[in-house]
């Protein structure tokens, strides 16, 4: 039996799992999706948090109900992709072998890599809304904003 692993159960990983579930002969494939936590954030909803249309709890859901049947869900933090041996190595030392690995880990905001963003004003007067923390901080700032 062939093994396919998706690293990342966010929007992209979940979409890929649901697509593969419809396309693969599940009698021939062992499938797993890996993520370090069981919280799914509906990231497009972050755009509405600063304006009070959505609240953080409106965009936060448990991951498992969105994952297709036939996929094992592994909640663990990947430490290494051991590509020579086709396996993931987790922080606790356990390993998960694969024949095909799909990386869907998303992105992360790194303000320190852009000059001026991390000089004390990050999430005080300079904001992102690509993260739940950034959208929430922007919403808090806009509550007292008088314009200008």
For 82-120, how does the pLDDT look when each residue is reduced to its tens digit (9 = 90+)? 999 999 999 999 999 999 999 999 888 899 999 988 888
User: pLDDT tens digits for the chain (148 residues)?
Assistant: 999 999 999 989 999 999 999 999 999 999 999 999 999 998 899 999 999 999 999 999 999 998 999 999 999 999 999 999 999 999 999 999 999 999 999 888 899 999 988 888 999 999 998 899 999 999 999 998 887 6
Q: Are residues 136 and 83 in the same domain?
A: no
Residue 19's domain spans which residues?
Answer: 2-106
pLDDT at 106: 87
60 and 120 assigned to the same domain: no
The CATH number for 21's domain is 3.50.50.60
Both 9 and 56 in a single domain? Answer: yes
Residues 77 and 142 in one domain: no
**pTM for the whole thing?**
0.84
- Residues 143 and 49: their CA atoms lie apart, in Å, by 12
Number of domains within the chain? 2
Domain co-membership, 81 together with 124: no
- Reported in sequence order, the residue ranges of the chain that DSSP labels E, i.e. its strands, are 2-7, 29-35, 39-41, 60-62, 71-75, 78-82, 87-90, 95-97, 100-103
- Strand order of the β-sheet with 29-35 is 71-75, 29-35, 2-7, 100-103
Shared domain for 98 and 138, answered yes or no, is no
In the prediction, which pLDDT does 140 show? 95
Residues 36 and 102 in one domain: yes
Q: Please provide residue 61's backbone torsions phi and psi, each rounded to the nearest 5 degrees.
A: -140, 160
Question: How many whole angstroms separate alpha carbon 127 and alpha carbon 137?
Answer: 7
Query: Which residues neighbour 117 within 8 Å (Cβ) at sequence distance 6 or greater?
Result: 111, 126
Instruction: Estimate to the nearest angstrom the gap between the alpha carbon of 136 and the chain centroid.
Output: 18
Q: What is the pLDDT of residue 129?
A: 87
Which residue, chain included where needed, has tokens 């979940």?
14
């Amino acid at each position: 039996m062939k093994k396919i692993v998706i690293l990342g159960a966010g929007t992209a990983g979940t979409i890929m799992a649901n697509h593969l579930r419809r396309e693969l002969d599940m009698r021939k494939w062992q499938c797993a999706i890996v993520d370090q936590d069981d919280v799914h954030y509906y990231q497009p909803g972050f755009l509405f948090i600063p304006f009070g249309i959505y609240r953080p709890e409106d965009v936060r859901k448990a991951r498992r109900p969105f994952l297709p049947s036939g996929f094992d869900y592994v909640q663990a933090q990947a430490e290494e992709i051991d590509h020579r041996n086709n396996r993931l190595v987790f922080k606790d030392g356990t390993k998960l072998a694969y024949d095909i690995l799909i990386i869907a880990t998303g992105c992360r905001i790194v303000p320190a890599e852009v000059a001026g963003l991390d000089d004390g004003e990050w999430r005080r007067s300079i904001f992102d809304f690509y993260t739940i923390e950034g959208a929430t901080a922007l919403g808090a700032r806009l509550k007292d904003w008088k314009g200008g």
